[in-house]
Amino acid sequence: MSFQQLDPPLPVHVIDKGAGYAFAVIDYGQEHNLIWVTAINDTGEIWCAPNPRVRLQANWTMGRARPSAVATAAPGDCAAPVLRAEPLDKPN
């Protein structure tokens, strides 16, 4: 098992929880998903989310599009949902 603090934290979206900042990653080994330790912006909650439920937030500068909709999975389901990306608009 390894624990890695992220510096700087990464802006992410946790499916069914919302946008937040991942500030650490836990790796339990090859038989497990990475676990993202994330502070949720709206609630202040700290969640340990499995890798398939975590998405990077959009970043226009990096050319990363935002998902048009974040699909939800059944509670406890770690299967990665299918996302469609839409292009980002340039800021004014």
Cα separation values, 41 from 22, 35, 90, Å = 11, 18, 24
Q: What is the pTM of this model?
A: 0.69
Q: What is the pLDDT of residues 18-37, one digit of tens each?
A: 999 999 999 999 999 999 99
Identity of the amino acid at 68: S
Residue 72: per-residue pLDDT: 45
List the chain domain ranges. Answer: 2-57
Map residue 51 onto helix, strand or coil.
Answer: helix
- Cβ atoms 14, 54 nearer than 8 A: yes
Cis peptide before 8 (omega within 30 of 0): yes
